Structures are given as structure tokens and as C-alpha cells.
Amino acid sequence: MPGKLKVKIVAGRHLPVMDRASDLTDAFVEVKFGNTTFKTDVYLKSLNPQWNSEWFKFEVDDEDLQDEPLQITVLDHDTYSANDAIGKVYIDIDPLLYSEAATVISGWFPIYDTIHGIRGEINVIVKVDLFNDLNRFRQSSCGVKFFCTTSIPKCYRAVIIHGFVEELVVNEDPEYQWIDRIRTPRASNEARQRLISLMSGELQRKIGLKVLEMRGNAVVGYLQCFDLEGESGLVVRAIGTACTLDKLSSPAAFLPACNSPSKEMKEIPFNEDPNPNTHSSGPSTPLKNQTYSFSPSKSYSRQSSSSDTDLSLTPKTGMGSGSAGKEGGPFKALLRQQTQSALEQREFPFFTLTAFPPGFLVHVGGVVSARSVKLLDRIHNPDEPETRDAWWAEIRQEIKSHAKALGCHAVVGYSESTSICEEVCILSASGTAAVLNPRFLQDGTVEGCLEQRLEENLPVGCGFCHIPYDELNMPFPAHLTYCYNCRKQKVPDVLFTTIDLPTDAAVVGKGCLIQARLCRLKKKAQAEANATAISNLLPFMEYEVHTQLMNKLKLKGMNALFGLRIQITVGENMLMGLASATGVYLAALPTPGGIQIAGKTPNDGSYEQHISHMQKKINDTIAKNKELYEINPPEISEEVIGSPIPEPRQRSRLLRSQSESSDEVIELDLSHGKKDAFVLEIDDTDAMEDVHSLLTDVPPPSGFYSCNTEIMPGINNWTSEIQMFTSVRVIRLSSLNLTNQALNKNFNDLCENLLKSLYFKLRSMIPCCLCHVNFTVSLPEDELIQVTVTAVAITFDKNQALQTIKTHVEKSLQRASTDNEELLQFPLELCSDSLPPHPFPPAKEHLESASSNSGIPAAQRAVTVEKASPVAEGNFRNRSAPPCANSTVGVVKMTPLSFIPGAKITKYLGIINMFFIRETTSLREEGGVSGFLHAFIAEVFAMVRAHVAALGGNAVVSYIMKQCVFMENPNKNQAQCLINVSGDAVVFVRESDLEVISTQQPTANCQPLCTGGEVTT
Amino acid sequence: MTNELDIFVGNTTLIDEDVYRLWLDGYSVSDAVARRVRSGILEQTGATAAVLQSDTMDHYRTFHMLERLLHAPPKLLHQLIFQIPPSRQALLIERYYAFDEAFVREVLGKKLSKGTKKDLDDISTKTGITLKSCRRQFDNFKRVFKVVEEMRGSLVDNIQQHFLLSDRLSRDYAAIVFFANNRFETGKKKLQYLSFGDFAFCAELMIQNWTLGAVDSQVDDMDVDLDKEFLQDLKELKVLVADKDLLDLHKSLVCTALRGKLSVFSEMEANFKPPASGAEDRTPRIPAPQNLSRGLVNVAAKLIHNKDVRDLFVDLIEKFVEPCRSDHWPLNDVRLFLNQYSASVHSLDGFRHQTLWDRYMGTLRGCLLRLYHD
């Protein structure tokens, strides 16, 4: 009996009227965990019941604690008929199971009903007492921490990165069980929500067990997905990276997230091929020891470990030394050997991380991907989901062998996805082949995560670009040159990856979002024939998508893609491809050549003219883009850039993998291409269309940037204003003009218009950057295309450099004059941001304070980096206390990024993983499909925020909407939507808090009323 | 290709102040889009009309969802669905409850009933305010009225507490509620020159001095209903004009004090007390000299009747403002006269109702000064 779960139901508010006669409600609450149920008393005739119940205690296994959600049902008591359900709250108690996360869940939760949406709120307190259990054969994995964040979480340090963990569980979908015919939609939805909650719990527990087996204590980059396979069942699968993490104890050691890309913070991968300059001075171990030695006084070093650890660096740096020019080969071989030994025990040397501790990533080979088309069949034995496991194993094998072909032993930035239509399912996996530093992968090695101060004369940010494969034995034709940065190693002319831009990468100018969009019609077919048709189309899709990406990249004058994500979606009568990535200009890679258009009928005069016109337009666009993104690489005199005569493009860039089964797996050789100008033959309408689509992509309006990676290369002075949003669009295609071109155009317009709308909506935030722009396409019906975008807009300051100095001075003055005790007397007023004070103070007070209102609210002030001081800690404690019942709702930030600009994450409270279903039978009354979905997404956000707030947090990072399945039947006035979201609940502290408290408090207090007063007319 | 569905949901709810105003003003989506286009926003931002349409729809949807909460503003503060910074919440509420001067002048003092609601069509046509906006404003008045009508405590405080309005707007609503409850006539032609602000000013003075709440702060309806006992007592003031000696004494006190200070002294002197007869008869061409004192005292004496309460403002204009205006009294002279007129009563030895007089005249003096303009 290893755990006691305690629940107290405090009160409800804003309940719906359940009794028409009295306009009131007689509410009571059922609290259910596993098979045990408790009930509160009925609180008669109130819409704001105060139950204040006793503590309901559940004595349960920790296995159940992990699997089961706590289920709270609010009902209206009815003497004569059955009690009416008002709604439910599911609470995942997992965050209470590990020591460092939340200790109590307490707060107001929206009461949710799958038919009516949110209906009031309920105040609940949940606690868990865990007993130590030393049973070796236990089935639970309490204590393993889960993070959605795909990098090492900010207040932790990676001791060892163990590697890939995966698991899947299957079950019958309650929606397709026979019983569904006789139960209400509500009962069916609830059964589904509960089942998925249960399955996620089970999945997480099983993954946790694997992590414990590997002697890890955490899963980073945890990605859990649902496959709604319809008749054949429901699959919940997850992948992640097992790690051993250490909590950083000193708050001063946190890296301020907002600054990570800035120059000052650049860290060098210390195991990277060393500087030719230092090397030319012969064996230089002592010198290098100095170079790498620690300076513990520096505030930005992540840990204050003693310099003992430096000793262990000596052999490695020594190993690197040799004759400068030729060292690549032997060095690489050595490294490979080491890595191999570290990785060979692993079945799949995959990592779901996209950002890495410094020094972890040695070389990047390129993108590897594999797809496979499968026919779904009923899963007969849910306890042995062998087929699904086998499918994924097969794909992972492919990925592994592709990586090997690129001379790499590992795959980073790895992810898996599916697209299902009827009984056909496309499984996809992709990642970036890479060579890793074995130091992080083994037990008993030195402490990880060392950081060095950037030495001025060390070349940085090119190591990962150097090719990992053998120059003489290249897996595909590629044009190699010497690295433009260090001039010692070979680099490809373009580099595609699925990871984030390494923080130390040398980049020229800014980056931008690049998308390739593609539709292909497909005949409607059944089963086997359908699968074959899709299999046949896939390679062409991949090829086209890749060509588009390459063209657009060149058009932007850039040479590398990061965060590449290619989604292929299957529908009844078409396939859609959508690739998103962030283009950048890597200083280490050669300048991309232009795009040349060539026609096949050179004799036709007007045609020639047309072509030269197009050519001019393209050249202009390239020049304009270079200016827009500030791409001015240093001129390299001794290099002859580009041969004058472009060669025709090679049509054989696709390497089919050798599997001759019904499914097809494709490897993309993504680091191909000529260094020279890229030639487009516009001998057919298709290509013509390509060129047009190239030119129709409009750049974002001035002041806007966008990327799909965590951070925007070239921007580092983020201010603290963030706005996360989800936008959904569905278009109906007129079935008349269904040609590939028309489809492509429609799809292209859809995406472009959506982006334009976003820019317009967020115009007040200029200058700003849309980060982590995540597009998903689905084909809910024959003629419908649905695009869902989630991203975060972050403002940045163009002229922060100056202000930083100024505010630093100001701040130090302020701090000197601030009395700590005084601060703590006003715990509720501490911050307008995370716990806003009551916005409507009594009138008289307002008048008084209004007179003292002098200018800018603190929150808008420039944010500067600041070390956490004991005062800040004190504030934080005050504020993280659960908001008291009658205060206004605390602000919870949400962001798909792993950090919050201008703030420090001080605590991870646990994973948020929620699944909701919403259904309506009165679609028109709820404002049509837009009204319905708008309300539902707002409700989902609200429920996520409420859960985070109840855990004591004030933000969700690495937030992702993994699924948004929308189905409508306007004729029946019905619609249904399923949404699955996840993220990490955290506590963050603003770096500017001290300012807020010391100087701006009265202002913050009266601010709302001041504005309010002005608008009266 | 048509957009079946098109939504944008931010973690922090986006509020566009311009669109909010258009929505409040009752424009349809297409009208709002047209107006936004005319504002030149397309040129400024480089957006297309389709983008504007989609944006406007989004905002309208959001406002529609927020409207339910705006009906009970404290709910907006505690709800979890829309994350809105407090300053924005205040703005949403304040603007939602803001009203048009033209509209409020039409319904001020009218019963907030279904009947009046039916007249909104006419008001809309007359004022050029959209029917939708008229409805919202009317419903706001009615909602506030219903909530605070029978509540204990200060009217302004109650409104502020239940609707979270700014001090200024709460006071305005207090005036609206007070006028609606007492049904003061404000629509007559001769009252047209008065602004809502004039009435609101008077309402505030009356609430402070003439209601139940002015004497006892623990009664229901304290700020909404006039103090009946007080109105009853006002009859006693009649003695000031009925008793010839008292009237003469009063007049001479005022005249002595003001001699040489008023530019309109002779008119004042002539008007204070009517010549022997026919004071009430006025020839339409030239306003006959009117007895200011008698007018003011008579107004007081009549207030016991509900109908006369309703006509309070009409009477004040007829009995005091118009005669003074026709004699071209400067505002400052009116002020000097009223001050002296109220003050000198204290020197009338035979007059016993000093407190009553002060309660009445103090308020009336303030009102008259406010009402006295062109």
C-alpha cells in the first residue's frame, strides 16, 4: 500500500442553473479514484455552493496512482428523478508523485461537460502521501520526471543522456464499441476521455520503468500521440529521451533563457576540432588547459564545479591535436569508434532532443526520414500490440541504416507521426543523422555540461557542419568545399536538419520561415489498392517537397534549414505535403548560387523573353531577400564562387531504400546539389507553376519575422511580451476544379492567407517574431482542408543595447533604496503579472493613487538580465502560493518554447497532458463551426491554465497542440472536436520583478481604473 | 474556395479597441469591415480586405462570447475562459457601459420598461445611433437599475461594486437610476438645451440631500427615493411668500446686501416680489416680471405630489431660469443673488424652518446655477 491520496472539495462558483423553477442548483460532488467513490453533501439552492468537505482518503497502489486520473463529478441533486450531471474535472495526480515537483494541487478548476463546455468552477485540494517501497519488482515508476521540452530543462544539468525510450499501448475505441449505439453521446465521450487518460497514465508508467532500467531519472523530449484508428482501435504511443538529470542548486547559475543566443553566452563545443591557430603552435596541451579552464566568478557558467574536471579534458584535447590539415580523418575515426562503443548497446541510438548541451553534437549529416504505408486491421490482443510495435521497429531500423549511410551513429531531433484515413495509415519518422560526443552517453564519465567562456580567437559554430561521412565514399553526390569558417574541414553546400540551430552556430543575418506546400490528387480506392496508390505517390511527393524547399531556400539566399518537419497527410482523394523549416545562412557553408531558369524551346522569341523576364524577377527577389534578412557574408577573395556555366539538375537524387515490401521507405538525400546556380527547367506547366509559387510567397510585413525553431537566428534582445495562439482554418474546395494545380494554388493561398492574417492580428506587437510556428494539415473530409497553426509571438527590442546599461544603473540605485521588509508586507500586490491585484480598488483610494501615477507601467520597461538575489527568491515564494479564493485569476503564460523571455524558470512542476472531447447538437445556436471551435479552444486553454495554476505554476512551456480533430455535420446541426495538448508546467520569476515591487506598485494598482476613467465619454 | 471555418484564439485574448467600438456601436460585420477599410487600415498595414473580414469576424465572435460576462462584470474578473489583463478588463467593462449623450437624453427619466424599449426604433432613427447600440444601452440602464434599485447603502458605491465601473461612470449611472425611479421629465422642448451632465449634476445633489439616505444610511432604496417626510415638510416654506411681512423683510435683506454688486439690480428688485397684481399672467411677447421668490417657494410646496416631482425641472426653468435669462442676468449675478437669497433667510426672526430651508435651497441653488446657461 504505497500511497494515500487525499482530496477535499472546498466550493463551487458560477454553477449553471439546473432547476428552472427556482433558478438555482442543488449541487453535490462525487470524487472517484479507481473503483472507490466518495460523495459530498448536497448543498441546497445555490450557484456558489460551499461544501467544505472532509478529506476523502483513497489508499492505493502507486501503480494506480500513476495510471488513474482523479475524477470529480459535479451533479445536481434531484429527489424524484435521476441526478443530472453538471460536468467533470479530471486531475492528473502524476505531478504529486515526484519529490521536486508540486506538493499540492489546489485551486479552481473549470467544470467541463463534453456537450455544454465549461459550466462553472470547483475549488479542490489534492495531496498525496507516498510511502517508500523497496520492492524490486514493482510495476510503478514513481519519481521519474517527464518533460515535453526537447532540450535539457533550464534548471537541470544532464549528467548522462541515456537515449531512446518508446512504448505504445492499444485499446478498443469506446466510440466504436457496440455499447455506443445505446448510450448517450455524453457517456461515450466521457468513456473515451477517461480511457485515454488511463492509457496515457499507463504509458507514462511503462516508459518510466524503462528509464529506471537504464538507470535514468527523467525523460526529456517526451512526445505522446494518439492514433484514432477507428474500427481497429485506439493507439497511444510515446517516445522520449531518457536522461539522468541533476537539479542545479544555485539559482545564480541559471542561464537566463532570453539571452542564450546572444554573443556573450556562446559556448564552444570543447571537443570540437581545435583551432588551427593554436594547433600550429605544436602540441599545446598546457595552453589548452588554460583555454578551457573555468572561471567560477563568471555569472554565466552553468555550474560551479571545481577545476578538477578540467583534467579529464586533457586527453581529449590532446587527442585532437595533430597536424592541422589532415587531422580530420583519424580524428573522426577515433571519435566514431568511441561513439560507436557508447551507442552500440542501444537498439536505436535516437534522441528526441532538438537542442543539446554544449559539446554534445559533433557533426550533423543531414535529415533522415522513412515512411511506410500500412493497412490497419483490428488489434486482436490489446495486451500484445505486436503488429504496431513491429511496424515502428521496422521504420526505426530504416532510419538507423540511413543514418549509418551518412556516416553517423545517432539520430537527433527524432520524431514520429502518423496520418490515418479510413483503413490506410502512413507511419513517418524523421530525424537528423549526427555524430555525438560519447562523453554524455556513458556512465561514470566526467560531469557533463561544462561551459567555457568564448575566447575571441576561437572559431566557433562550424564544427557541426563538417561532414561526418567519408569524402571518398559519399553516400550520394554532393558538392563539398572547405569550411568557410575554419578552412580545415569539408562542408556540404546545403544542410537540412530537424534540430534547432545550435546556440554556438555562426550565422549571418536573420532567419526566416520556409514552407513547401503540395497537393496530389489520388483516385479513391479500397484497402490494398489504396495503399499501393499512396505508396506510389509518396516518392514523388517527397521529391517535390524537397525541390520546393531547395528553391525557396535559394531564393532567400540562405544555405541551411533547421527544424525541418515534413508532414504528409492522406485523405480520401488526395495527399497533402507540408514542410516547414527555418532557413538561415550558416557562415561555415558556401554562399548559395542563384536560380537559373532554362527553357526547352530556345527558338521561340517571346518565350525567351518571358524566361528572361522571370529570371530577372527571381534575381531581384534574391537580392531583396538578402537585404531583408541582412545576409552580407564576408567576401572571400581567394575563392572562386560558382562556375559560370550551370549544369542541369540531377534527377536522380532520391535514394530508394531497398525494402521491396508493399510499403515503401524512402531516404531523402538532403545534402545534395551543386554549389553552382540551381537550374529550373520550365519545360512543363508543373515547373512553371513552381516558379510562380516561388514568387508568390510574400515576405512578412516589416517588423515581423517568423521561424519554426525555438529562437530566431539573429535576434536576441527579446522583451517579455509573449502571445501564444492557435489559429484554425478549414476551406471547402469546389469539387469542379480539382486538378493538381488548382489544389496546389488553393492550399498555397490557404497557408499564405493564414500567415497574413496572423501578421495583421499581431501588428500591435511589432517589432516581433513568430517563433515555433507549427502548421498541421488534415483532411477531415473529401473536400475539406484543415490547417492548424500554433505559435508564439515575442516582441523584441531593436535598441536594447543602450537601454540595458541605463536600466542597470537605475536598478542598482533602486535596489539600494528598497527595504526588504517593506516588500513583504504586501504579498498580494507583488506583481501585476502573476497575481494581479484587485483591479478595482475603492474609489477614494483610486483618486489618491492616481495622483501618484507617474508614467510607464513596470511591465513594459526594458527587461534586463539580472542574477537572482535572495530578495527575488523571497518574492517568488510569496507569489507561488496558490491564489486565494477571492483574488482575481492569476495570469498563466503559455508558450511552445522551452523558455520565457525575460524570466527564469525556477521549478518544473510536472507534465501537462490533456485530452478533451467536445460535441454539440446545436451547432447553429453556438455560432456555427467557427463559434463552436473558437469557444472550445478557449476552453482548452482555460483548463490548461487552471491546472497549471492549481499546481502552483504560472506558465506552461513547450506547449503543443498535438491533435485537433474536427468533424462536422451541418445538416444534422452537429459537430465534434477532439483536442490533445501537452506541455510542462513551470514556475518562473521575472527578472524585472524587483523593479516592479520597489517603484511601481501604486501605479500598477490604479492602472486599470486610470485607463477606465479616460474612456468615459 | 471558401473559408468554412476561420478562428484565432490567443492565450491572452486579443482586444482591438477600434473593432470593439464598432461592435458596441452596433455595426454588422460587413459595415464594420467597410468602416475599417475607410479608416485606411489596409494602406497602413498592407493587409487585404479578406484579412480584415476574418479579423473582424474573430473579434466579433470574441465580443459576443464576452457579452454574457459583461452583463455581470464581477464574473468577467473571476472567469477562467478568457485571459485578459486587468486593465483590458476594465476597458471592456467601461466601454460596454458607456452610453451616448444623445441616447441618454432620450430615455432619461423615462420608465425603463418594455414600452420604452419599443420606442427604441424611433430613438434610433432620431439620434442616428444603431438600434443594436440603443438596445445595449437601454438594457444596461435597465440591468443596473434592477440590481441596485432596492439595495441598501450608497447608490454610487453599489453600482461601482456590482458593475466595476469607474467613479465617473458610476455617478452617471446613479443619476440615470435616480431619474428613472423618480421619472423626472427631461424631454420637454424647453429642457432640450440641457445636457445629460446638467441633469447628472442635479441628480447627485438631490441624492446627497433630498433622499432617505441623506438622513439615514441604513434604509432600503435609500438613495433612490426622495425623502417623503422632507417633501411633506416643504409645505411649511410657503410662509416665506404667504406672510407679507416676512416677504418684505426677506426682500429688503437681499436688496441691501446686493445693492451695487449686481449689474441687474433693478431687475432683481423688481422681480423679487410682484407688483400688486397679475404676477402669474404673462404676456407671450415680453416675460412679465416674475416673482422669483414665489416661484422657488411654490416649487418646494408642490413637491409632495408625484406629478410635480416629475415636473421639477420644467418648473425650475419656467419659474427661475427663463425670467432671469430674459433679463440677461449674468451667471455671476445669479450666483450672488441665490447665495444672498438663501443666506438672508437665517436673519428672518419669524421663520422657524431654517434647517428645512437649507436642505431645500442648498440643493436647489446648486441645481439652478448648473441649469442656468444657454
Residue B78 forms contact with A (CB below 8 Å): yes
Where chain A has pLDDT below 50, the residues are 1, 136, 251-332, 444-459, 637-677, 801-887, 994, 996-1017
Is A729 in Cβ contact with B6 (below 8 Å)? yes
By the 10 Å C-beta count (0-12 exposed, 13-18 middle, 19+ buried), A169 is classed as buried
Look at chain A and count its residues.
Answer: 1017
What 8-state DSSP symbol labels residue A50?
A: B
Determine the residue of chain A that is closest to B77 in CA distance.
A888
Nearest to B255 by CA among B324, B328, B327, B344: B344
Among A766, A977, A1016, pick the best mutation site for testing chain B contact (most B Cβ within 10 A): A1016
Determine the residue of chain A that is closest to B61 in CA distance.
A931
Residue A780: what pLDDT? 87
Q: Which of A313-327, A686-700, B18-32, B333-347 has the highest mean pLDDT?
A: B18-32
Tell me phi and psi for residue B56, to 5 degrees: -65, -40
Q: What does the mean pLDDT of chain B come to?
A: 85
d(CA A827, CA A919): 42
d(CA A717, CA A862): 10
Give B45-76 pLDDT, tens digit per residue: 888 888 999 999 999 999 999 999 999 999 99
Q: Which residue has the cell 491572452?
A: B12
Calculate mean pLDDT across residues B35-42.
90
Cβ atoms of A721 and A765 within 8 Å: the answer is: yes
Residue A326: what pLDDT? 35
Give A773-831 pLDDT, tens digit per residue: 999 999 988 888 999 999 999 998 876 543 443 444 444 434 433 333 333 333 333 33
Among A829, A886, A1009, pick the best mutation site for testing chain B contact (most B Cβ within 10 A): A1009
Calculate mean pLDDT across residues B259-284.
61
Tell me the pLDDT band of B325, cut-offs 50, 70 and 90: confident
Find chain B residues with C-beta within 8 A of A110's C-beta: 80-81
Nearest CA-CA distance, residue A726 and chain B, Å: 5
Collect all residues with Cβ–Cβ distance below 8 Å to A520 and sequence separation of at least 6.
A537, A540, A541, A574, A575, A576, A577, A740, A743
Find chain A residues with C-beta within 8 A of B75's C-beta: 14
Q: Which residue has the cell 435683506?
A: B253
Cell of A961: 497542440
Residue A453: what pLDDT? 35
Q: What is the largest CA-CA distance in chain B?
A: 92
Cell of A173: 475505441
What are the respective helix, strand and coil percentages of chain A, to the nearest 5?
A: 30, 30, 40
Q: Which residue has the cell 441628480?
A: B203
Cβ atoms of A916 and A963 within 8 Å: the answer is: no
Determine the residue of chain A that is closest to B15 in CA distance.
A761
d(CA A64, CA A139): 10
How many Å from the N-terminal Cα to the C-terminal Cα in chain B?
61
Is B98 in Cβ contact with A1015 (below 8 Å)? yes
Residue B82 forms contact with A (CB below 8 Å): yes
Among A794, A889, A1003, pick the best mutation site for testing chain B contact (most B Cβ within 10 A): A889
Cβ atoms of A514 and A561 within 8 Å: the answer is: yes
Parallel, antiparallel, or unpaired: how do β-strands A410-421 and A424-436 relate?
Answer: antiparallel
Is B160 in Cβ contact with A843 (below 8 Å)? yes
d(CA A748, CA A760): 18
Distances (CA, A) of A908 to A335, A574, A956, A984, B16: 35, 43, 10, 7, 34
d(CA B363, CA B218): 22
Answer yes or no: is pLDDT of B131 > 90: yes
Parallel, antiparallel, or unpaired: how do β-strands A784-796 and A903-920 relate?
Answer: unpaired
How distant is the alpha carbon of residue B363 from its chain centre? Answer: 15
Chain B, residues 5-44, CB within 8 A of chain A, namely: 5-14
Instruction: Write the single-letter amino acid at A494.
Output: V
Distances (CA, A) of A996 to A80, A803, A851, A1012: 57, 17, 18, 22
d(CA A468, CA A410): 11
**Which of B51, B90, B98 minimises the CB distance to A839?**
B90
Tell me the three-class secondary structure of A475-529, residue by residue.
CCCCCEEECCCCCCCEEECCEECCCCCCCCCCEEEEEEEEEEEEEEECCCCCHHH
Determine the residue of chain B that is closest to A117 in CA distance.
B81
Tell me the pLDDT band of B98, cut-offs 50, 70 and 90: very high
Cβ atoms of A200 and A146 within 8 Å: the answer is: no
Chain B, residues 58-77, CB within 8 A of chain A, namely: 58, 61-62, 64-65, 75, 77
User: Do you find a cis peptide bond into A767, omega within 30 degrees of 0?
Assistant: yes
Chain B, residues 119-178, CB within 8 A of chain A, namely: 156-157, 160, 164-170, 172
Q: Show the beta-strand stretches assigned E in chain B.
A: 2-10
d(CA B327, CA A1004): 53
Cell of A264: 556573450
Residue A247: what pLDDT? 83
Nearest to A50 by CA among A73, A27, A32, A74: A27
Q: Which residue has the cell 563545443?
A: A269
Q: Which residue has the cell 517588423?
A: A703
CB pairs under 8 A between A and B: 183
Q: Which residue has the cell 516561388?
A: A694
Distances (CA, A) of A168 to A209, A227, A856, A974: 13, 10, 53, 32
Q: What does the mean pLDDT of chain A come to?
A: 73
Parallel, antiparallel, or unpaired: how do β-strands A84-91 and A70-76 relate?
Answer: antiparallel
Q: What ipTM was reported for this prediction? A: 0.87
Nearest CA-CA distance, residue A986 and chain B, Å: 16
d(CA A826, CA A822): 8
**Which of B1, B94, B167 minimises the CB distance to A733?**
B1
d(CA A411, CA A394): 16
Cβ atoms of A751 and A786 within 8 Å: the answer is: no
H/E run at residue A938: helix A928-950
Residue A452: what pLDDT? 37
Determine the residue of chain B that is closest to A112 in CA distance.
B81
Is A937 in Cβ contact with B9 (below 8 Å)? yes
Is B166 in Cβ contact with A1013 (below 8 Å)? yes
**Which of B6, B50, B169 minimises the CB distance to A1016?**
B169
Q: What is the largest CA-CA distance in chain A?
A: 94
The secondary structure of A910-927 as a DSSP string is EEEEEEEEEEES-TTTTT
What 8-state DSSP symbol labels residue A258?
A: G
pTM of the model: 0.81
Among B19, B39, B70, B81, pick the best mutation site for testing chain A contact (most A Cβ within 10 A): B81
